Amino acid sequence: MRTKLLILLALVAGFALGQAAVEPYQVSVNGNASKIKVGHDQDSLILPLALPVTTDREEWTVVVLRDDKDHKLDVKMSSIKRKVRGDTDCYYCSATGKCAQDSPAGSGLNVSGASEYYCNGTGVCTHCGGTKKL
């Protein structure tokens, strides 16, 4: 019985060490470092992204570049705007360019210290892209 318990303990410890050895991916969204935690599912990565929808129709282009060697994900997100940017101050971030849902604003974190999902953990307002203008 003791031998079985030791073998089971060795297997569990080996599995835990193998999981700890998996290096986390560094994520950047539109060139801004993000605090998003990437999930794993067999050979796939799970990347939770938030897309703000402010009108009855939103069109987004999302491109993800995966670099397994350096454990990096580079995400390019862009909204197809109907009007010309630069006319109006961004009222979502009060024209600061920082994510208003962060605590503190622009930190990429929520009140509990976890990655904030409204702005994908970047701290940059997704509505104006940090430009302070809609």
Structure confidence at residue 20 (pLDDT) = 47
CB contact at 8 A, 108 and 34: yes
DSSP the chain: -HHHHHHHHHHHHHHHHHHHTSPPPEEEETTEEE-PPPEEETTEEE--------SS---EEEEEEEETTTTEEEEEEEE--SS-TTSSB-TTTTTS-B-TTSSSTTSSB-TTSSBPTTTTTSSB-TTTTTSSB-
Per-residue pLDDT tens for 19-56? 445 678 899 999 989 888 888 888 888 888 888 887 78
**pTM (2 d.p.):** 0.57
Per-residue pLDDT tens for 72-102? 999 998 887 665 555 788 888 999 999 988 9
